[in-house]
Amino acid sequence: MTRMIKIFDTTLRDGEQSPGCSMNLREKIEMAKQLEKMRVDIIEAGFAASSPGDFASVKMIADTIKESVVASLARTIEADIDQAWEAIKGAASPRIHTFIATSPIHMQYKLNMEPSAVKERAIAMVKYAKKYCSDIEFSAEDATRSEPEFLSDLFEAVIKAGATTINIPDTVGYTTPEEYYAFIEKIKKNAPSMDLIDISVHCHDDLGLGVANSLAGVRAGASQIECTINGIGERAGNSAMEEIVMALYTRRDILNCDTRIITQEIMRSSNLLTRITGVKVQPNKAIVGENAFAHESGIHQHGMMKNKETYEIMTPESVGLSTNTMVLGKHSGKHAFRSKLKDLGYDVTEAEMEAAFAKFKIVADKKKQVYDRDIEAIISKEAVQVPKAYTTERFVITSGNTITSTATIMLVKDEKRIEKVARGDGPIDAAFKAIEKIVGRDLTLEDYKLESVTEGQDALGDALVKIKGADGKVYAGRGLSTDVIEASIYAYVNAVNKMIYAETQGQGN
């Protein structure tokens, strides 16, 4: 009988802690909705006690999500657990996830606590959390560098105190698959109560073994895997959800396990996260990399024409890739556009559809061909827009190799048009400096990238801008246009709007 493995997604908590991967409130809600659409079992919405912004986002996600369990992380501290419960109590299925470090090096140098005190604290806080809800997960931070005998004793105690899930994380990505399998087996042998609860694994990828270790944990009896979309997370990241899910799906013959995940939503989830964070996956990334289903070698192409299974162990369609290329054009109407969005798996409001359609018509007037990836770029951008404190009215750029580049930019704020002129080292630099004059902020350009969404001379330019405000926080903005300067201006203004929105919400981006 096939064993069902629960998928615990921590993209919004552990993943967001990855440098450059922070998200604002609207972006977190959009990502959480997509995770729910994928049928993720547990969504770890954040660390409610870490900041007012995190508390607000966890609460909003808990109040919004109906089909998945919503969890908040909490240290084994009463105040943290109180905050976690306040944030998730509106969830259809709430979970408190509390943790404490258990390795000798962490207990001595980070906690300054004796093992007996750690055990006492863990028991007390699991009991404390249990008064709020029945679903309690307990994690032993840095478990794989902990003494297995100590963990067995500790886990027995916290299970009796009310823990319903025990997480055995490889916090620093140190273990190997064979070692991890034996480690979990040894703990289970000395902790008979482990058979009564869910065993979870949470593996980091410092040695590139995160997914392999997670699967070894499943072989050892784990019934829950903690992971992130695209493998984002602290340092080298977490186990990648798409790799775990497709490994379980593709190799059911030897693993005898499966998940509830709708695999056709994998590509959309990956692309959405990339659009929100601006962090792209490498082309050869398993499952979601742009080369994952590409074949250039003549030998490979010949085999694919005969039988796709010669070089593909899974189909592109199984992860949500479309085989369509040409889709809509400038003569297409709203009905066709709405139908295409449905075919691509997007469930948008009428307002979001109208905004995306208006952008689509602009693009269609400029491009000979509009591809699925163009539409996905447009709808993903529109779906996570923040309120526009500033909008772009017009711009004029003067540039050349014998003159100093000059930009004249006009933005609109509260129906008031503001125009500034600036010079710079090239047209993009001049445009950014003009925008900085308009908003009256001391901004630092942290990163700027420009890529084409599709092929051809009329391809959409996808600009990414990351700016740092005077508060030291970084905000990412994106812009789309067939004109790369226009895309860059849109991206910079979008980043400014995100910064202003974050300030009004009392949270950093």
Summarised one tens digit per residue, pLDDT across range 196-253 is: 999 999 999 999 999 999 999 999 999 999 999 999 999 999 999 999 999 999 999 9
| Cβ neighbourhood burial of 437 (10 Å; 0-12, 13-18, 19+) | middle
**What's the Cα-to-Cα distance from 186 to each of 3, 72, 150, 152, 237, rounded to whole Å?**
22, 29, 11, 8, 27
Q: pLDDT tens-digit profile of 244-283?
A: 999 999 999 999 999 999 999 999 999 999 988 888 888 8
Closest CA relative to residue 96, chosen from 164, 50, 40, 155: 164
Give the pLDDT confidence score for residue 306 in this predicted structure: 58
Pairing of β 6-9 and β 224-227: parallel
Does 380 have pLDDT greater than 90? no
Give the pLDDT confidence score for residue 322 in this predicted structure: 64
Give the pLDDT confidence score for residue 321 in this predicted structure: 78
Give the pLDDT confidence score for residue 320 in this predicted structure: 85
Q: Do the beta carbons of residue 230 and residue 281 sit within 8 Å?
A: yes
| Weakest mean pLDDT among 151-160, 364-373, 441-450 | 364-373
| Weakest mean pLDDT among 36-45, 185-194, 462-471 | 462-471
Q: What percent of the chain has pLDDT over 70?
A: 91
* Phi, psi for 347 (deg, rounded to 5): -115, 95
Does 385 have pLDDT greater than 70? no
**What's the Cα-to-Cα distance from 95 to each of 154, 228, 240, 314, 414, rounded to whole Å?**
20, 18, 22, 34, 42
User: What stretch of H or E contains 473?
Assistant: none
Q: How confident is the model at residue 396 (pLDDT cuts 50, 70, 90)?
A: very high
d(CA 113, CA 119): 10
Q: Where are the alpha helices (DSSP H) in 133-290?
A: 148-161, 177-190, 210-219, 241-250, 252-255, 266-277
d(CA 67, CA 262): 13
Does 509 have pLDDT greater than 60? no
271 vs 61, residue with greater confidence: 61
Give the pLDDT confidence score for residue 345 in this predicted structure: 65
Sheet holding 391-398, edge to edge: 391-398, 405-413, 416-424
Average pLDDT over residues 281-301: 70
* Phi, psi for 79 (deg, rounded to 5): -65, -40
Average pLDDT over residues 141-150: 98
Q: pLDDT tens-digit profile of 452-478?
A: 876 666 678 889 899 998 888 888 888
Tokens of 145: 């560098």
Topology (CATH level 3) of domain 391-505: Double Stranded RNA Binding Domain (3.30.160)
d(CA 99, CA 111): 12
Does 85 have pLDDT greater than 70? yes
Compute CA 307 distance to the chain's CA centroid, rounded to the nearest angstrom.
Answer: 35
Q: What percent of the chain has pLDDT over 90?
A: 67
**What's the Cα-to-Cα distance from 415 to each of 77, 236, 387, rounded to whole Å?**
49, 45, 14
Q: pLDDT tens-digit profile of 397-440?
A: 999 999 999 999 999 999 999 999 999 999 999 999 999 999 99
Give the pLDDT confidence score for residue 250 in this predicted structure: 95
Q: pLDDT tens-digit profile of 301-331?
A: 445 445 666 657 788 888 887 654 334 677 7
| Weakest mean pLDDT among 19-23, 247-251, 388-392 | 19-23
Contacts for 299 with CB less than 8 Å, ≥ 6 apart? none
Beta bridge partners of residue 70, listed in sequence order:
43, 94
What CATH number labels 3-277?
A: 3.20.20.70
Does 139 have pLDDT greater than 60? yes
The whole-chain average pLDDT of the chain stands at 89
Q: Where are the alpha helices (DSSP H) in 367-405?
A: 372-383
451 vs 184, residue with greater confidence: 184
pTM, entire model: 0.76
Q: Do the beta carbons of residue 320 and residue 264 sit within 8 Å?
A: yes
Q: Which amino acid is at 29?
A: I
